Structure 1
């Protein structure tokens, strides 16, 4: 900025010096005009002064017109004084006319110059040359000036239109940037209460930042202000995000400590032989575990395995000590074999609705039957589901009903391994459900940025919609499975 100011000062100083030189030339021309008897003799001096005038360029803008008029006045007066050598005057007029015609042609060509700003600056140089060129024959002066002026008007009009359009574009850019600022400033931080919501909002901010980069300059007087407003809004968002995650980390540390305490309690109970009381205590600990919030990912699996291992150990020991159920399990095995035989006996010619109702009744009956001997469970389970799959395929029963029915049937097998296996299965389903919800949110956010203006965009939109609907269906199925487990746990209690 200081260099530019120094350069401007130097240029103004040079303009003032040029002004004094040209004023001196005018004074000398005035003296020549005031010596009419020596006009022919002074012609050489006159041409020398003209040469000096042309060599001196820019003067202060406020003095240009007045200076040029005075110069032209005395030049024309000098020519009027020439009597004995009229040929010199006519020759000068002719050469000046050629030069001014050439300048007119150059100005007219600028109307087709693609770079409007360059054309405008070139025109200013042509104007300077036009002024510096001597007069033409009196009868041609108005005509040649009118031609040059008309060409200048065209270039000036294009220059003005260019900057009016530029001004309109910059205003449009300012409007777009203002909208982006308003969107970020309008964020309700009270709604951002978990990791997923903050990450989704972060992706929105990044998208807005990328959009900002594609927008051109705003008007010069507002360009810096609107950028500072945008940067302030973004800085506030990321500052609050940092504060949230700091708080979240503190909360996760508290949750980790709570889960460590639960692990210690479970480990203190795992060797107990008071089966009923201890089972109730461990069940309470498992319910309390479900109420504790998440911990950092790097600790999540380790702390869970520690807790569930203590619970599993106790219930495995309890199962070994309660072998009186074997006879009941054998009876259950026979019941399940009968159900499999009934399923096998269903005639493929049976009415679809009637067959579907019968299959569901037998599945319900299967689910009501208790545990079977451990060594037989996989075999009978495989036979049952093999027959169910055939019937579902034969009578075209919906896939989701099939999956849910299969899951209900598998619950008893899960319990046979260890009652705590239900809690492990529930924990796994809850995690899967949260992951699918996050994935669904991501797809739905992506849908907001897509358009169908192209075939490619339309195909991508269709594919994303298909994935969204499938995820919604999968989430609903997982929720139903969790509900089935919760019902089984309640019945067991």
Structure 2
């Protein structure tokens, strides 16, 4: 995994290496002082610990958000490498997405010349990047000024240091006060440019050694210097002892590094009798603190092993999600948030053991790529399906528009019910078309159903009027029933029947009035003992009139088909009953069951004969003559 900025483990290693150099030197002299880190500002900077791999999975919006977060959270000069990586990934993703958007635009029927790139995100990124570069340039210009001020200050300090041994001494006390002040000023003088640092530090330590030589030549000065430096050493040793118990091992190592710097700058030399003993004591304490790194390594190891388990669990959960049926919009809508949560958890979990780092990242990257691949395929296919659905719904919309003024009410009612059912089965269309096409379809359907409703109101009024007519006619028929005059009774019944059938339908809740009429007719026939063949002929003619009583040829044809089917069904029933006679081959003629079957056969044959007569007469009748 490519590292962008330092981590706790890396900082620990750096601190350990710097201290180890001092320990291995087995000396407390000023050798290799040019290589000493002379400022500690970098130890106080916030650290950025985001991996390059994490950036690779971010969408464009997230990359912009992370870029701004880096600028807000970290020193501007500490984010150069992550900014370059974000820029590279952003531009690559932007080009890929634009290429995909353009292909979809053309596939949807768009003209390539009319394609407009989506520049909103790129403009936002460029704006932030330009601000970053401006701020960074300003920072470096300020740093140059600060470094120049620090250089001037250090050169002035060197001149003051030089004066200590080239100018007359006012007093021993004044000499050491100035010497101590010069070393403190040097220690706190701040960073200078790398180009000037080497020569400047060499010059300083050259004159510092000259001061020490000057002190050695003056016994009283030497003793005071030794005493002061010994006091500094003891203070450093005491602080080092406190660091042994410091809970934060990282903090202890960082400060120990600083104490070694102070030892070289402000605690040398000391008298021969204390030189080796103090150095050995400091060295032993340093080794104790240095050995504590194993505790931190063990802690880090346990944390990384725990992180490994968590990340493996996340990968397994992602594999479980993607292994289910992913060919539905519901799945992607429900899973999107969960997948994003798992992805965020993966990156926030922390590092894993180095030997597992590459493998675990490749596993995670692979499953995320698979998820994105499946999602892209699904939405690409979804778009195609939605376009097909849009065509189907447009066809239904055109049918609704073409038939909203239809006058054949029953046909229209069945048609609009059917296209509404078909509409429900089609599925989603592109969101930009969804509301409008539904609005248009609903308006056309509602237009027809409102017409149908108004027509029914009118028809219902006609049916109520028909009911009143039938009530009057039924009253007249009842009067005939109470009349004892039988002259032309059959002709009168026939007239009543024809009038009754010509009136038309009544409201559904009053349909029993037809049964009342039939019962009254039967009562009259029975009362006047009319011959059966005449009655049959009359009812046959009435039946024919019922079938002929229609307003159009289409309905007449439907009646004819219905009558034919009724005849065919009866014929099938007769065939079945005659086949059943084989069960009675040994039965006597007076067997009740046999009698029942024979009676049923004869009854159905009579019915067939009657219906055939009706059918034959209807077949030679033109309904439009009525």
TM-score (norm 2): 0.34
In our comparison, the structure showing a higher alpha carbon Rg is 2
TM-score (norm 1): 0.41
